[in-house]
Structure 1
């Protein structure tokens, strides 16, 4: 689990390095990237961040299900004994084509099936369901803009900023200062939430 958590944090660092590229300036102080290029880089980086989160959750689930320990040495009480990681993947996929690790409701449902009280995943994800829903909708808007994804993105921005927002873009929204802490961006706010959740899952802290 230590490696899984370290890989997640390294991934987030890489995401922020990509975003920093979007804000590089020339010697005369002018921005190197055009607005369209900046939007592309930041939206792509956000997608990558979400992929790192999905990967962490999946690996954590498999590690615990195959008898691996947390970063603090804990082993979970589990209701299945797969022979190896491949077997564990097949068990949780069942008759489906794949597990949607981006859907926290599915992840929590599987956690309740395979671990005592769904611990620690259920309690941790339950505490951040709003943020996880936001992140998934922002991810969808990063991947493709439609009337549905635009409406959901605008709704998230309007709720968080406390004012009506229309036709915003992913980069415009997530790179704004967070209304409750202007020292960080909205993206950093979400990253902090994911980091705490990942650390608690990795260490089996509910």
Structure 2
């Protein structure tokens, strides 16, 4: 089943990348890091970027598979208003007259889901529930991918909001992602760990249909 494989691939990718992050943040018995800060930041931010890409890939694959009438994990199929004959044809339908489809933007995905599926199917509800978190993740992604004065300013603003601390200045994606998240009910859960949890729940909802 395609949706089973999509979810399995997404989770396997995240497990591998979290292992890279754990390697980068490993410490000696005296609590000092085993590798330099620059290398830690490079490995962890690179892994985060790949996690974000894995999410985009998962959503895209599920969207295409549902358009091709693949059943969900729970054997559900959405009512849909188009009938592509192949994955390539489905991609062409999704893109339409745009240059590309932005799978990082939950609002865009929700809008097209409501065009092609009855009431947007599971994409509309699942992405709506974590809309703000996905937009925040995109802000962090942009900062990790290409730091500029604009992305730096947005990241500082996001850090201040998430951490409830106006002293968050000159933050990096690494510093924010590995800060303890005050929004979490889990003791010492980092910002990244909270986001990974949210993405996993949403991915399961989408795959279950």
Q: Which bin holds the TM-score, normalised by the shorter protein? A: over 0.9
Map of 1:116 onto structure 2: 118
Secondary structure of the corresponding residue to residue 168 of structure 1: coil
Q: Give the count of matched residue pairs.
A: 204
Counterparts of 1:152 and 1:71, CA distance in 2: 38
CA RMSD of superposed structures (Å): 1.3
Counterparts of 1:177 and 1:201, CA distance in 2: 28
Counterparts of 2:154 and 2:76, CA distance in 1: 39
The 4+ residue runs of structure 1 with deviation greater than 6 A are none
Map of 2:192 onto structure 1: 187
1:156 has 2:158 as partner? yes
Counterparts of 2:180 and 2:151, CA distance in 1: 22
Counterparts of 1:40 and 1:86, CA distance in 2: 35
- Deviation by residue 1:59-91 (Cα, 9 ceiling, x = unmatched): 000010000010000011000000111110111
Counterparts of 2:63 and 2:132, CA distance in 1: 21
Alignment TM-score, normalising by the size of structure 2:
0.93
- Deviation by residue 1:36-61 (Cα, 9 ceiling, x = unmatched): 11111111111000000000000000
Distance 1:151 1:23, change over 3 A: same
Secondary structure of the corresponding residue to residue 189 of structure 2: strand
- Deviation by residue 1:154-206 (Cα, 9 ceiling, x = unmatched): 111111111111111111111112213333111000000000000001101xx
Q: Structure 2: state its 5+ residue gaps.
A: none
1:50 has 2:55 as partner? no
